Amino acid sequence: MRTKKFLMVLVAIFMGSQVTLFAQEKKGARPERKQLNKEQMQEMQCSQIIKGLALDDATAAKFTPVYKQYMEEMQATRNMGAHRNAANRTAADKQTPKPVPTDAEVEQAIKARFAQSRKMLDIREKYYNEFRKFLSPKQIQKMYNLEKHNGDKFRKEMKRRQGMKKQPDGRRRMPQGDVKK
């Protein structure tokens, strides 16, 4: 009898501890945001475009490698230029005010943007001819619209996340546009 009670108490304690651990895990655990690498992002965007264009398997097989190459060239072109140096500044650099650029530096930056825009246009024209081999002009236009929509969503999400950065006291700050009353 005594061993039976002892076993029942032991089982009750064991089950109670499991429920407690499970409850604490749910309460304290925040869903991890999975960081996607460049290839995963490209794969996701490519599959969204394929789905949006409702391509059959044969056309999708032709489209995928061409689109991935197009995206890589566009990304490389977007990353060229001196105006990206602001993202590479260290925390100490960000504390000091930026020096006022000279007219020559501003002119150089503008000309670099022109060159970048020309190169992006050249890439779009090159790949338009490639896409035209298996897509209609309407499908290509829809692809460009889907790309723009995805880019807008991505920028909006990045702005939202930047507005939600932690404050020194550990709390999350509400974005400026989402102030609740």
CA distance 112 to 1: 88
Residue 118 lies in a domain: yes
The amino acid occupying position 149 is H
Residue 116 lies in a domain: yes
Residue 101 CB contacts under 8 Å (≥ 6 apart), including other chains: 109
- Please state the rounded mean pLDDT for residues 49-58: 92
Residue 7 lies in a domain: no
Band (pLDDT 50/70/90 cuts) for residue 40 is confident
Band (pLDDT 50/70/90 cuts) for residue 32 is low
Q: Is the pLDDT of residue 90 over 80?
A: no
Residue 92 lies in a domain: no
Per-residue confidence (pLDDT) for residue 113, from 0 to 100: 93
Q: Is the pLDDT of residue 174 over 60?
A: no
Q: Tell which phi-psi region holds residue 170, choosing left (phi > 0), alpha (psi between -120 and 50) or beta.
A: left
- The answer to whether residues 119 and 77 touch, using CB atoms and an 8 Å cutoff, is yes
Supply the range of the domain harboring residue 49.
40-76+104-160
Residues 116-154 have pLDDT tens digits of: 999 999 999 999 999 999 999 999 999 999 988 888 888
Residue 145 lies in a domain: yes
Helices 57-78, 103-131: inter-axial angle, 10-degree rounding: 170
Q: HSE of 134 in the Cβ direction (CA atoms, 13 Å)?
A: 17
pTM of the model: 0.61
Residue 143 lies in a domain: yes
Per-residue confidence (pLDDT) for residue 82, from 0 to 100: 46
Q: What is the mean pLDDT of the chain?
A: 78
Per-residue confidence (pLDDT) for residue 93, from 0 to 100: 62
Domain count, the chain: 1
**What's 56's DSSP letter?**
-
Residue 137 lies in a domain: yes
Residues in the chain: 181
- Please state the rounded mean pLDDT for residues 60-70: 93
CA distance 102 to 100: 7
